[in-house]
Homo-oligomer: A and B are copies of this chain.
């Protein structure tokens, strides 16, 4: 792991350390935009054709059948089912508390204003199918949708024939019934535009590879398309640690982040050179037994340790970076937690590894990357709902507001707005 000392680097170098490697999901390669447009024009049929061509799709049915859901449950070991159930329970418990509450207030006598939360009616959840199945992602998206009470939740995931049983079991716990075996840009485009046989959704959630990300950004930017949860970049972990931290724990956290992929971003900020040395040794020791060494080594090449003179400077740097995951492993963490402004999810203390939040503690693992933690949090129940305002005014209420409304309407040269009040005062 490379090492820099904050006091010895230039402002320009600090800036370059804060910079992510460019992702340009909107400068889509022609293939993706061609696929998206084709599905926009020709609908389900085109999406299925691409599934044949790209994913070697060969199933009889694009929908997962009840029989397949039942079979999945039988195929899984008791241990895996128990683990999925336990994760489901904790994630549900944590997210249930996010259900936003309606409120009502009389701002002026006779002027009743309310805000009510209504679930997004149709949502699409995307579950990637890479080298390994992601039942945890199914839970992280399915549970908030379930708690929000979305009427129709469609899951989309690419496959040749069968969907992985762990994913189907997780989907079943979330009471998800509509599951299509189409993914990739064609799957995203089908969700976004629909056709006569497939109703389009109102919002799309979920991670994906660069082609899926590009497609999500395309449909998000198209007013005829569909809003998305967030723009996604590579996964990130920033650790702030002092000399009291256990170097083996720190190294294991760095490695667990690095194994996600070669683009993974891993940063260690510490005021202890001694800790850095120990972590480095531990990395070398621990990496040996890990199957995803290739990814890890490449990810570590782009990563670095920054030695800071004091922890305040570490928190400043972290806020400027706005990491997806932030581990705070220092002695007096309480003193520092209020300094955190920009981070997706924060893990505090020796026994709080990122993998706890990735799977089972209860928090969501679908988090803002690429600095988007500056403006948004992770996936939540509120993202599956919308706050709709209602108002109801009495004759006396509108009288009381009338002078204000008429004065402002006329200041803004909107005479008809003023007349809508005057006609009611007659």
Contacts and interface: CB of A to CB of B under 8 A. Distances in A.
Interface of A: 22-26, 79-80, 82-84, 86-87, 90, 93-94, 97-98, 100, 103, 105, 107-108, 111, 113, 115, 118, 120-122, 131-136, 166, 202-203, 217, 220-224, 226-227, 231, 233, 248-249, 252-253, 255-256, 258-260, 286, 289-292, 296, 337, 340-364, 368, 370, 372-378, 380, 382, 386-395, 397-398, 401, 403-405, 407-409, 411-421, 423-424
B352 A423 contact: no
Listed from nearest, the 6 A-B pairs whose CB atoms lie closest are A83-B407, A377-B387, A132-B413, A107-B362, A355-B417, A202-B374
A133 B419 contact: no
Contact of A359 (B343, B368, B408): B408
Contacts of A392: 347-349, 352
A420 B221 contact: no
A141 to B, nearest CB: 15
A41 to B, nearest CB: 15
B374 A120 contact: yes
21 contacts: A87-B408, A93-B105, A113-B361, A166-B411, A202-B374, A220-B221, A227-B375, A252-B416, A255-B419, A291-B415, A296-B416, A350-B424, A352-B391, A355-B405, A355-B414, A355-B421, A359-B404, A359-B405, A359-B409, A364-B389, A368-B386
Contacts of A86: 404
A87 B407 CA distance: 11
Contacts of A364: 389
B292 A415 contact: yes
Q: Is the interface of A mostly helix, strand, loop or mixed?
A: mixed
A122 to B, nearest CB: 8
B120 A423 contact: no
Contact of A418 (B166, B349, B355): B355
Contacts of A260: 414
A202 to B, nearest CB: 4
Nearest to A412: B132
A417 B259 contact: yes
Given A392-B349, A393-B351, A423-B252, A408 B135 contact: yes
Given A375-B386, A386-B377, A360 B292 contact: no
B105 A346 contact: no
B223 A388 contact: no
B395 A351 contact: yes
B348 A407 contact: no
A258 B362 contact: no
A82 B231 CA distance: 43
Given A351-B424, A355-B417, 8 more contacts: A80-B407, A100-B100, A120-B375, A133-B411, A202-B375, A256-B414, A343-B388, A346-B390
Nearest to A93: B107
A371 B258 CA distance: 41
Contacts of A397: 351
A394 B349 CA distance: 8
A221 B217 contact: yes
A389 B377 contact: yes
Nearest to A151: B341
B404 A249 contact: no
A185 to B, nearest CB: 16
A255 B342 contact: no
